[in-house]
Every structure is written in C-alpha cells, then in structure tokens.
Structure 1
Amino acid sequence: MTLQRAALWAVVIAATIFLLVAGRGLLLPFVLGIVLWYMVDSLADTLAQPRLGRLRLPQPLALLLAVVAIGGLFWIVGRTIGRNVQAVVAAVPTYEARLTHLIEQGTRMAGIEQAPTLSELVARISLADTLGSVATAAASVVSVAGLILIYTLFLFVEQVHFRSKLAAIFHGDGQEARVRAVLARIDREIRLYIRIKTTLATVTSALAYVVMSSVGVDFAGFWAVMVFFFYYIPTVGSILAIVAPALLTLIQFDNLTPFLIVLLVFGSIQVITANVIEPAIMGRSLNLSPLVVIVSLIVWGTIWGVVGMFLCVPIMVVALIVLAQFEATRPVAVLLSADGRIPESTP
C-alpha cells in the first residue's frame, strides 16, 4: 500500500467516524428502525417456513404474527422495567443506609480509623444519579419511538421493490448474483448470532430469576430482564450480569450467605454459558477475533452509547464479510478474523 493510499484511507476513516458521531441523533433512529425491521422480518420468515412437511403460514399472516409477538415482547419488558424502576428508586435510601454500614464495617476490618462518608465514595457513582441516567436514556428512546416505527414501516415498503432495484442496478454486468450471495451470507450469519444469543440469554435470565428469587433478592424479575439484555453486550455484559445482582444482594442482606449463593451459583452459570456453551454452539461461524470484539465494543460504545454496544458484533460481522469480497481489503478482513480464515470472495 502506497503512502498516498494509506493517507486516503486514514482521511476516509476519520471522516466516517466524525459523521457517525456528529450525526448520531439522525442515524440512531434509522439504525434502530433497521434493527426492528430485521427482527420482525426474520421472525416472519421463520413462522412462514413449512411445518411438518406440509403446513406453511401465508407470508402476510406470518408477518402479522411477528409484529404482534415483537410488540407484545416490548410491552412486557417495558412494563416490567417501568414498574421496577420506580420501586428501585424508592428503595435507594434504604440501600444507601445499608451501604454506609458496610463501608464502616469494611474500614474497621481494614484498620482505618476514620471511615470515608458515603457521599465521598459515591459522589461520582451515586445510585440515584445512575438510575436517573438510565431513566433519561430510556426516555430518549421512547421520544424517538414514533420515528423508529416510521422508518420500520418504510423499510417494509422498500423491501417489496428491493430485488427489482438490485437487478436494475447490476443489469447486464454479472454482479447481481455476487451481491445477492454476499447479502445472503450476511443474513445467515446475523440470524445465527441473534438466534443463539436470544436462546442463551433467555435461559440465563430464567436461571438468574430462579437463583435470585430463591434467596429473596429484591426486584428479581427486574434484574432477570437486565441479565437478558446484558447478555447481548460482549464480555462486559457478562461481568455486569454477575456483579450487579451480587452487589445488590450484598447490600440487601445482613449476612454473606445470599451474596455468595448469587455470586457463585449464578456466576458459574453465566461463565459456563458465555465461555463454554456459546462458543461450542456458535462454532467457527462468526470467526471474529476476541480483541476485535473488545475494541469494537469500546469504539461503537463511544460513538453510539449502549446501542453501539449491542450492535458492535453484528456490525463487525458485516464488515468482515464485505471486506473479504475485495482483494484490496482482504488483509483487513484477515486481521479482523480469529484465525485468519475469512469467507471466500463470491465470483
């Protein structure tokens, strides 16, 4: 690669990052609309597949059922979070008093004569401020919900004519089959990722609810929902899913037994699921470097916040597949891969 080409690539990357950051308010609703459209369309395609070798739902009926299912899921999750957030905010003073007591005990055990006040320790990580930030983020999503739904609706309208547009764009040059093959591979990889992640997240959150409710942890249903969403965030999400309920248990109870049960039992479930079961099921399909996943998590989290954390892996999967199709960018695809093996370019 010549110096001029390297400089050009650097300018293109810098300009792209600038546009992603500066246009966050405009891009995020559209990106979330794409995500919602993809979820509904994937579920509709799954429902429309033949069952028992003969029965097949008509596509419009499958689409309607998918819309109802996704809408019902969001309603249940939103209702659960909404109810429990208010209860958590109401319980913050009790937790802060308990946390102050734990700090005093810890400082005495450490031999520190004067314990720092709670305000000194949590000035930067106040529970109330943290919950307020979460509520603000949720409110921002709700505020653009109408725009997201509009984007989703028009994406379904555009989907009807997409194939004909693709054929018109590549008419006569033999590239249509290649583009279709690349899009099919991207669709297959993303659907596999979502299916595996959703299944394991559901199982993990259900087990988390069983463990927490069995020891009497407050707001077990709320934390189970949080565990479900944490599972979609690579690496960091698994840590948060273990630490957050465990810390709440430590603050809530006067003895360490419930804390140790939640930490060890659920921690073991989370570690085994995320580090043993998921890689075994996922296999080599995604083949992304763990370092690339961590870096993309940080980069996209910085650019788009929590939404970027959720989407970092699908974005890198798309980037890997697309970069592997061109001779000039295949070295970049190799660097993104886990073992140097990348998808073969489609002729």
Structure 2
Amino acid sequence: MSSPSSLAARVSANSVVTISCVLALLYFGRDVLQPVALAAILSLLLAPMLQVLGRFGLRRLPAMLVTLALAGVCVVGTATVLATQLLRVSEDLPQYRAAIQIKIDQVRTAVERPFAHMQDSFGHISPLAPQGAEGQDVAAAGQNLAAVPRTDLLSDLTSKVWGPLGETGLVLVLLIFMVLEHESLQDRLIRLAGQREIGRTARALADAAQGVARFFFSQFVVNAAFGIAIGLSLWAMGLSHAVLWGTLSAVLRFVPYLGALVAGALIAGFAAAVDPGWQLALSCLLLFGVLELLVANVVEPNVYGHSTGLSPLAVMVSALFWGTLWGPIGLLMSTPLTVCLVVAGRHVPALEWLAILLGQAPDVTGAQRFYQRALNGDTGAILRDARPFLRRTSLARYCDQVLLPGLALAGAEIRAELIDASQREHLRRTVAEVAEALAPSGVTRAKRCQVSLLDANVGAHLRHLREARLGRWQGSLDVPQRSIILCVSRATEREELVSELLARALREASHDARSVVVPIPPEEQDPDKADLVSTLFIPYPTRESLPEWIVVVDELRANLPQALLATIRPTLEDDFPAQASVQPHVDMVLRSFEEALAFVAPGRS
C-alpha cells in the first residue's frame, strides 16, 4: 500500500474535477443508474446459488429460473404470513377503538397543555383562528374529500402504484439478462481491463461477489435473530400477535435505520391500544429500543464490518453518502455498493485510497502505529496495544517487531530533519514511559521525575532509574561466577537505549542482566570481579563509529577474556558497515533480541 505522502501527492486539480463529475453523474443519472446497480448487486447475490446448482448439472437458464423461483417463494411466503397476521389484527382493532381514542386524547392533552399555558402567560397574543374554526376546517376537508370523484382516487392510486411496479419489473428484466449474460459480461470486463490484468480483474470480480453475498447473508442472520428476539420477548410480556411483530421487525430492518423506527412505532402503538394503561406500551418501547441500540451499535458494525471488509465507521458513512445521493434505494444498497468500491480499491491503484479509508484493517504495521503515537505522546494507546502482545510473547519479541523498528523509522526522519523539537520531546518521553511500564525498574514516580528527559538521552534515563534503586551496578556483586550478563554501550543515545532495552528484555527472562557505559572510570574497575561476567552484548556500530567501536571491543576482550562477546545488528537499519569488518572482533553477530535470549539460554554459559 502506498504511504500517506504518496497518496497526498495524487490529489490534484484533475482529481477534484474528476470526483466532482462522478458525483454529479451519480446524482443526476440516478434514474438510470439505480435499476442497473440494483440488478447488478442482486446478480452478485444470486451468483453463489447459481454456482451450487451448476455443480448439479443445471445449465444457466434452468438454474436461474430455479433460483428466482426460490427467492419468489421466500418473498411470497413472508408476505403471506404478514398479510394473514395483519388481517387478524384488523379484525381485532374495532374492540380497541375506544382505548385508542382515549390514548389519543391523552396524548393531545399532554402536548397542548404547555402551549395553552404559554398562551395564558402571553395574553396579548391573539389566537391564530377564531373559536370553532378547527371544526369548520375538518368539516370542509371532509366535504372536499367526499366531493372527489372515485375515478380520480383510482387514477391517483394507480399512478402511485405503477411507478414502483414499473421499476421492480425493470430491475427484474435487467437481473435476468445479467444472470444469463454473466460469463459474457465477465469476459467483457476482463477484455476491457487488458490482457495483462486478467488475474487481477478475475480476483476483483470474485472478491466483490463474495463480499456482497457475505453481507446479505450476515444481514439476514442478524435481522432474523432480531425478529426472533422481539417476538419471544413480546410473547413473554403477554402482547398478542407476537409472531406478526417479530416478523415485521425482521423485515423492516432490511430498510436501514428508517425500518427499525417504523417497526418500533407500530409495536408501541398496538401495545397502547390493547392495554388500558401505558405500562405495556412503555415496556415494549423500552425493550425494542434497547435491542435496537445493541444490534445497531454493537452487533451490526462488527458483523457487517468483518463480513464485508469494511470498517464500522465506513458502514455508517456509506449509508449517509448513498442515502443522500439516491434516497431510500441508495440507503438500501449503501453497504453492497461500498463493498464493490473497496474491492476496486484493492485491485486498482488509482482507487487505492478508497480501500485505505473504508477498509476494515488499514495496512499499517505495529512499528508504524508505535511511531505515529509516540510522535503525539500517546503512551496510553501504545500500552493498550503492547500488553495483549506481551501476554502472547516476550518483551524481546516486542522490541524486535515493534519498538526497535519504530525507533528506526524515527531515526530515519530525524536524520532527514522531518521531526521538530516538540515531536522529539514527545518521542523521548513516550519511549521512556513505555519502557518503564512494560519492564518497570521499581522506582517511585517521585524519583523518576528527578531525571530530566530534556537533558539526558532515553537510555541513560532508564539506566539511572534502575541504578537509583539497585545501586551503581544494578544489583549485588556477591553472586555466582559467570552469572552476570553485561549490556555494554558507548556514550551515544542510540547505543545506550539499545543496551538498556536489551537488559530489560533479558531481566524479564530471569537473567541477571545489567547495562553499563564504557569507558568505566578506573576507580570503579575491579579485576577480581571479572569472573562474574559470562556474556557481553554490545550494539552493532555504524559506519562512522566503526574505528572507535573496534577500540572499545578490543578493550573489553582484554579486560574480560573469559566472557562471550556478541553484537546485535537490527535488520531494519541500513547505516551499518559490512559484517566482514565486524565479525573478527566478536564471537557472534546476532540480528535480534530473541537471538540474544537464545544465546544466553541455560547451557550456553
């Protein structure tokens, strides 16, 4: 995936004009594009069923007819159940008419009372209409309605029904032709993409079909479970026709956001009609609201996100975007359309930004996340990511895979002068806090604050924290021979930090590791204690510091001839001399902290 800087470079005046033209085309051409898009999405939805039937030897046309017949049976069956239940409810409504009228009067009184109080308080405000005008208006409206010819009512009804029926028929015809011409359309798209992009185009089409099918299956499972939960809960609460309300809730939830509101209002209204008081209606409304909030804000974003490859936020934004452009139809198709765009972004470089912004998991490594958050000083976010990592593995591996690569990114940008002073301050402070939190030295917070990160490098700061508690040598010298591991560094910020982190990783693995800076003052040197050291670790040098590093290593060899000497070379840094110039001066060249742990494993010393 491209870096953010390369993506930003792609944004130009031409890109803005192109996006504006595409949005205008989507909006003003919606009457043509909506049926085509809906038919295409339905064809992707039916594709898995057609493939299953094809494995049984059915050809394309019979398989399509069987699939459409099964879909029609499901739709007709659901409609029959709803119609039957609605007829039963309509038969029971007359006996609830008095209760409904009482509830309406109560609601009207509760709503009008504040306005009446305001009118009494401001007596100079004249009424909007003379007394009795409301009744005259209602009577006049009734007379006007009665005066409308039945032929006009029939024509109005026909005109309202004909539009949706015509669009449904158009979508059905387009769907049939798309299914019949599925292979031909796929060949045309591959041919349009070019001979060199056959594999990528085929994968994109397969990913789009799989993503749409997974979304609709997930939506069906979620809505069916929601309907069953509503039906069982209402039955347990004693509300009649619980099957109807459960089925209606499941069906209406296929209309995003608005469907759930309609279902909840119908259930609450019916509960208010059948119960003399308000307790049942409020209980049903509370139940529906809690379940809807749980499903809409917890279940759906995660289930739909995992099944479609979209982030939970992208699911919400796509509904807003397509609903604004295409209205209810766009709202219904928002997630499948966005799935297709994300799939296109994964395979078309020009649309890669869509996959980055809307995809479920951004292509960002742990090191990049660490570095980004360290620049902002967000220690809490880094620790939230680090602790689950450390529960599965060791601090050494965390340093190898996250912390050291993140610091390598920081070093590259520091050398390029892309980081200002405040960001360096955040970076140093965050690295110190993370290292202390993951491998604490046991020093109280008051003592920590005595060492300023502005005046000392991070490695020296961390080493001083441990020395403040354990003494100059970070522990007792009355220990068995060849039991101490020394992490040695020269007085540079890079080497001191690497040595201190390695010492902490070794101590976490129950090794007696200590970090020191050379040269050690002569008054602190004790040749009698040389036999206590089993292993020496020193960071790999840079090209510039190689001569000085060789001098330090030769001195360590002379002072501690019995100790094993190893150097650690992280793989992500490139300012290193060739290994052939370093290897003769040490016993081993290691590439990670985990290799260092293996090097000092029991039996090595």
Q: Do they superpose with TM above 0.5? A: yes
Distance change >3 Å, CA 272–CA 5, structure 1 → 2: closer
Partner of 2:316: 294
Residue deviations 1:175-198 (CA, integer Å, cap 9, x gap) = 100111111112222111111111
How far apart, in 1, do the equivalents of 2:86 and 2:162 lie? 13
Partner of 2:224: 202
2:101 aligned with 1:101 = no
Distance change >3 Å, CA 281–CA 137, structure 1 → 2: farther
Alignment size in residue pairs: 319
Whether the 8 Å CA contact 1:41–1:63 is kept in 2: the answer is no
Distance change >3 Å, CA 6–CA 311, structure 1 → 2: same
Larger mean Cα displacement after TM superposition, 231-240 or 196-205: 231-240
Partner of 1:73: 74
Where relative contact order (Cα < 8 A, 6+ residues apart) is larger, the structure is: 1
Partner of 1:165: 188
2:42 aligned with 1:36 = yes
Residue deviations 1:313-335 (CA, integer Å, cap 9, x gap) = 11111112212334444334322
Q: Which has the higher strand share?
A: 2
How far apart, in 1, do the equivalents of 2:19 and 2:274 lie? 48
How far apart, in 1, do the equivalents of 2:82 and 2:25 lie? 33
How far apart, in 2, do the equivalents of 1:203 and 1:70 lie? 20
* Counterpart amino acid of residue 206 in structure 1: I
Distance change >3 Å, CA 28–CA 251, structure 1 → 2: farther
Partner of 2:58: 59
Q: 2:15 aligns with which of 9, 28, 48?
A: 9
How much has 1:150 moved relative to structure 2? 1.5
Whether the 8 Å CA contact 1:107–1:113 is kept in 2: the answer is no
Residue deviations 1:4-36 (CA, integer Å, cap 9, x gap) = 953323322222222222222222222332233
Q: 1:140 aligns with which of 163, 167, 170?
A: 163
How far apart, in 2, do the equivalents of 1:101 and 1:182 lie? 59
How far apart, in 1, do the equivalents of 2:47 and 2:336 lie? 16
Partner of 1:125: none
* Structure 2 SS opposite 1:58: coil
How far apart, in 2, do the equivalents of 1:68 and 1:204 lie? 26
Whether the 8 Å CA contact 1:201–1:231 is kept in 2: the answer is yes
How far apart, in 1, do the equivalents of 2:118 and 2:8 lie? 63
TM-score normalised by structure 2 residue count: 0.44
How much has 1:83 moved relative to structure 2? 7.2
Counting aligned pairs with the same residue, the percent is 20
How much has 1:261 moved relative to structure 2? 3.5
Partner of 1:126: none
Q: 2:197 aligns with which of 172, 175, 188?
A: 175
Gaps of 5+ in 2: 1-6, 120-133, 135-156, 365-605
* Structure 2 SS opposite 1:284: helix
Gaps of 5+ in 1: 49-55, 120-133, 343-347
How much has 1:336 moved relative to structure 2? 2.0
Partner of 1:260: 282
TM-score normalised by structure 1 residue count: 0.72
How far apart, in 1, do the equivalents of 2:172 and 2:74 lie? 16
* Counterpart amino acid of residue 33 in structure 1: A
Distance change >3 Å, CA 322–CA 169, structure 1 → 2: closer
How far apart, in 2, do the equivalents of 1:337 and 1:22 lie? 28
Distance change >3 Å, CA 33–CA 332, structure 1 → 2: closer
* Counterpart amino acid of residue 30 in structure 1: V
How much has 1:139 moved relative to structure 2? 5.1
Q: 1:22 aligns with which of 14, 20, 28?
A: 28
* Counterpart amino acid of residue 22 in structure 1: F
> Which protein has the larger Cα radius of gyration, Structure 1 or Structure 2?
2
Residue deviations 1:194-243 (CA, integer Å, cap 9, x gap) = 11111221222233334446667687666544422443355565555445
CA RMSD of aligned residues (A): 4.3
Distance change >3 Å, CA 270–CA 136, structure 1 → 2: farther
How do 1:247-286 and structure 2 match up within 5 A? 247-250=269-272, 253-278=275-300, 281-282=303-304, 284-286=306-308
* Counterpart amino acid of residue 179 in structure 2: F
Distance change >3 Å, CA 78–CA 302, structure 1 → 2: farther
How far apart, in 1, do the equivalents of 2:308 and 2:324 lie? 23
How far apart, in 2, do the equivalents of 1:89 and 1:303 lie? 37
